[in-house]
Amino acid sequence: IWYSRAAATTAVIGENADQITCLAVDDDGSQCYATSLDGCITILDMRKSHGDRVVDVIGPMKDNEMSSIAVIDHQMHVIAGSMTGDLYLWKQGAWRSPRARIRGHPSEIQCLLKASENHILTGAADGVIRCMRVLPDHERSFDCVVASHQEPGLDVAMDFGIEAMRFSHDRMFLAYSSHDYCIHWADTRDLEAMMSGMVAEGKKRKNEDPDEGEPSAAPQIAKRKIKRVKKRPPAEAQGEDVHSDGADPTEAAEVDSDGSGAGKDQGSDSDEDSDASPNADPDRARKRGKRIQKHLRPWCL
């Protein structure tokens, strides 16, 4: 860290194990973010004049090299680009795991530039500068091309990667550098209109398919239908009903040998036998008594 007034270094921080690729500072200058080829992002507290300035270290990201970083969404989110073309989005303070991993970038990302609180510019190895809307999630796209750089004077089209980008003071032009030892300028007066068109296109796409692009939509669980079954009265109550009708407790309904007669309504049998004499059919009374004993047996045990 270099102190400009004293023209001397005030601190040397060596948390990373590989080359530092990019530095980004938030709007109020309180924190600095450093990406490295070791897959880590170091967060520094710039308000400390002495002591340990390291707030946290993110990563390392598995098999991925961090190449660029930008602070967006009023310092609420941090987005970093990688050599594989993937973008990682973190929420401020939740550094343990990224909120989202954005795939689909056509080429490896070499630099990032904040275009607005929800938009970024990506400088890729194929020489193309693209505008992307990061937030909300359902409006992400890589189709908006801001500028494309190719080496002039060559018979074969050769792409040169974008190494760095900066806006002019009025944001009318974009300065960027490549591998040809020159600084190039791109007209960005139509960039605001392009970003507004991306917002309108994202809203239209959301209205056509509301579920598109939602990262963590909870699956809807079907409600189970509860079948209510009436409780069967205990055997003692059945016996009391039989006694109340004036029938002999030893009477029982006929049951077929295959058990098909067991499901007949007992109430109808009791109604039919209520007018008859208990001793009219001794065989039938004996069978009914066996059936009642069969029902009373579990309750007796």
The region of weakest confidence among 9-18, 130-139, 157-166, 275-284 is: 275-284
pLDDT in tens, 122-151: 999 888 999 998 888 766 777 788 988 765
pLDDT in tens, 232-261: 665 544 444 444 444 444 444 444 444 444
pTM: 0.62
Separation of alpha carbons 258 and 300, rounded Å: 26
Separation of alpha carbons 105 and 160, rounded Å: 17
> Which residues of the chain form beta strands (DSSP E)?
2-3, 8-9, 20-25, 31-36, 41-45, 54-58, 66-72, 77-82, 87-91, 100-102, 109-114, 119-124, 128-133, 144-148, 164-167, 173-177, 183-187
- Which residue, among 87, 97, 92, has the nearest Cα to 72 in the 3D structure? 92
Residue 42 has what pLDDT? 92
The number of beta carbons lying within 10 Å of the beta carbon of residue 191 is 21
Q: Are strands 66-72 and 41-45 parallel, antiparallel or unpaired?
A: unpaired
